[in-house]
Amino acid sequence: MRRHAEQDPDYRAELERIWPYEQVARQIIRLRMDHDLSQQALAQRIGTTKSAISRLESGQHAPNVATLQKIAVAFSRQLQISFDDPVDVSRKVAAGAGR
């Protein structure tokens, strides 16, 4: 993946576009697993469908802030959103491309 990202600017741009979604997905998966919940159980807790949770956890779709807030509340957490330096994000994407 890393070599492909280095050689193809369109591929790299797509990785950068979905990077924040993947980070959110990883956090949701971790929270759900730490609480021993299925996707269905989490969906029921926040009043949505299993397929909506699955889409979020795929890391390919933009999450809705209202949904993220419901997830935060379901786990007694506080939703925090930040704005990072684009250079830092680009470096993180490049580092993660070798997964």
> Residue 11 is which amino acid?
Y
**Highest mean pLDDT: which of 4-13, 36-45, 60-69, 89-98?**
36-45
- pLDDT of 21 reads 94
Return the structure tokens found at 32: 């759900």
Kindly list the domain boundaries of the chain, sorted by start residue: 2-96
DSSP class per residue in 5-32: HHH-HHHHHHHHHHHHHHHHHHHHHHHH
Using 50, 70 and 90 to split pLDDT, how confident is the model at 98? very low
> pTM for this one?
0.78
Return the CATH fold of 2-96.
434 Repressor (Amino-terminal Domain) (1.10.260)
Using 50, 70 and 90 to split pLDDT, how confident is the model at 96? low
Question: pLDDT tens, 18-37?
Answer: 889 999 999 999 999 999 99
pLDDT > 90: percent of the chain: 59
- pLDDT of 37 reads 97
- pLDDT of 99 reads 47
